[in-house]
Structure 1
């Protein structure tokens, strides 16, 4: 047995054990911490499967921004959780375990009955990859062969922001999301918030640009930019913008808006919706990804900030 195989077995065992512990631990905060660690370990699994793009997304969302959301929710639930001692009964837990096992068995059977070799569109995608000028197969698929799905995902992000903002009270509507953070100006957090963002912004832009030919892309770059913005906000060096800001709203609709305009251009001047002209395919896709990066960065950061809680002047 090689060292690589041994490492994969140990990694799989640790991930499985951590997943079981996360769903069985009684404290919400501990479960959230376990979920963050689980996301980071799953990112390692994706790296072992040579899916670097998926690994970066998993690390940024599952182990990063998603973990911050869960940790914040757990912190808010800590007081009410302490007052509520009710736990699911044995019958409920047994039914949940049986349902989980049944779903796992169905998925296992579905994988086992797949024909060998499994049906795939990879040869078709590879034979037409040169039409876009993109060397990264993941970006090629997302922006060309599954462009409609990618555009609708950005629309879902925009609708998520609308849903979060709709939770604001009438008095706070139009104001700033989340509380105003105050940190020690001479503390470690403020130091990191001054030191890290310049490098983080460069890395985010690099991930966007290199995504055309190497692992990376708009989502990974946008997640890095969002984390840098949140770091500055948490350190008290900047405040969240009011949701009534026109420039903010333009950024939030930039991604799906540019996507839609390019798609309509293909419908009006080409053979189909989102049909890129071969001569301009790569510039158009890069333009869409730049707009999507801004939208993703702003959306992820504002989703974590929450609903408007203060007036625009505070």
Structure 2
């Protein structure tokens, strides 16, 4: 047995144990911390499976921005959770455990019953990958082979921010999301908020640009930019923008809007919706990714900031 095999077995055991502990622990804050650690370990598993693009997304969302959302929710529920003494009954907990185990067993059986070799469209995708000029196969699949899915994912993000904003009261509508953060201007948080964003912005843009030929892309780069933006806001160096701002709404719709325009161009001047002209495929895809980078970064940051709670002034 090689060292790599031993490491993978140990990693799988730790992930399973951490998942069970996250579900079983009664404290919400502890469960949130366990979930964040679980997301980071799952990202490591994706790296071991040579799926670096998926690992970057999992680390940024599952262990990063998603963890911040859950930590904020846990902090808001702390007072009400302390007053709540009701716990699920033994029957409810056993039913949930049995259902979870049944789903896991069904997935395992489905994987074991797959034909060998498994049916795949990978050869067709690879044979036509040169039409986009993108060397990264993941970018080829997301922007060409599954272009409709990718565009609809950005529409879902836009609908998500609309849903969050709809939770605002009538008095706060059009105002700024979340509370105004204050931090020690000479503290560690303010120091990091001044030090990290310049490097983080460069890293986010680089992840976007290198996604054409190497692991990376708009979603991963956007998550990094959103993290830097939130760091500045949490340190009190900047405030969240009012949701009635026209430039903010323009950024939010720029990604799916440009994607739709390019798709309609392929329908009007080409053979099908989202059919890129071979001569302009790469510039069009890069243009869409730049617009999506701005949309994703802004949307993720605003989702974490929450619904408008105070006036723009």
TM-score (norm 2): 1.00
Structure 2: 5+ residue runs without aligned partners?
none
State the alpha-carbon separation in 2 of the partners of residues 168 and 40 from structure 1.
32
State the alpha-carbon separation in 2 of the partners of residues 6 and 109 from structure 1.
24
* Deviation readout 1:102-132 (Å, 9 max, x if unpaired): 1111111111111110000000000000000
Match of 2:134 in 1: 134
State the alpha-carbon separation in 2 of the partners of residues 97 and 180 from structure 1.
41
SS in 2 for 1:309: strand
* Deviation readout 1:134-186 (Å, 9 max, x if unpaired): 00000000000000000000000000000000000000000000000010001
> How many aligned positions are there?
313
Match of 1:219 in 2: 219
Q: Deviation of residue 9 (structure 1)? A: 0.5
Match of 1:278 in 2: 278
State the alpha-carbon separation in 1 of the partners of residues 49 and 117 from structure 2.
18
1:156-171 equivalences in 2 (<5 Å): 156-171=156-171
State the alpha-carbon separation in 2 of the partners of residues 172 and 101 from structure 1.
45
State the alpha-carbon separation in 1 of the partners of residues 91 and 250 from structure 2.
51
Structure 1: 5+ residue runs without aligned partners?
none
SS in 1 for 2:42: helix
State the alpha-carbon separation in 2 of the partners of residues 188 and 113 from structure 1.
54
Match of 1:237 in 2: 237
SS in 1 for 2:50: coil
State the alpha-carbon separation in 1 of the partners of residues 110 and 71 from structure 2.
35
State the alpha-carbon separation in 2 of the partners of residues 32 and 64 from structure 1.
12
Match of 2:55 in 1: 55
Match of 2:28 in 1: 28
* Deviation readout 1:80-116 (Å, 9 max, x if unpaired): 1111111111111111111111111111111111111
Q: Deviation of residue 200 (structure 1)? A: 0.1
**Are 1:70 and 2:42 matched, yes or no?**
no
SS in 1 for 2:125: helix
SS in 1 for 2:309: strand
State the alpha-carbon separation in 2 of the partners of residues 80 and 170 from structure 1.
25
Structure 1 residue ranges (4+ consecutive) displaced by more than 6 angstroms after TM superposition: none
SS in 2 for 1:169: coil
Match of 1:268 in 2: 268
Q: Which range moves more in the overlay, 60-69 or 94-103?
A: 94-103
State the alpha-carbon separation in 2 of the partners of residues 264 and 214 from structure 1.
28
Q: Deviation of residue 234 (structure 1)? A: 0.3
State the alpha-carbon separation in 1 of the partners of residues 115 and 7 from structure 2.
29
Match of 1:251 in 2: 251
State the alpha-carbon separation in 1 of the partners of residues 282 and 142 from structure 2.
13
**Are 1:190 and 2:190 matched, yes or no?**
yes
* Deviation readout 1:186-207 (Å, 9 max, x if unpaired): 1000000000000000000000
State the alpha-carbon separation in 1 of the partners of residues 99 and 53 from structure 2.
32
* Deviation readout 1:1-46 (Å, 9 max, x if unpaired): 1111111010000000000000000000100000000000000000
SS in 2 for 1:86: coil
**Are 1:97 and 2:97 matched, yes or no?**
yes
SS in 2 for 1:170: coil
**Are 1:85 and 2:104 matched, yes or no?**
no
State the alpha-carbon separation in 1 of the partners of residues 7 and 222 from structure 2.
32
Q: CA RMSD in A?
A: 0.4
SS in 2 for 1:241: coil
Q: Which range moves more in the overlay, 84-93 or 197-206?
A: 84-93
Match of 1:292 in 2: 292
**Are 1:123 and 2:123 matched, yes or no?**
yes
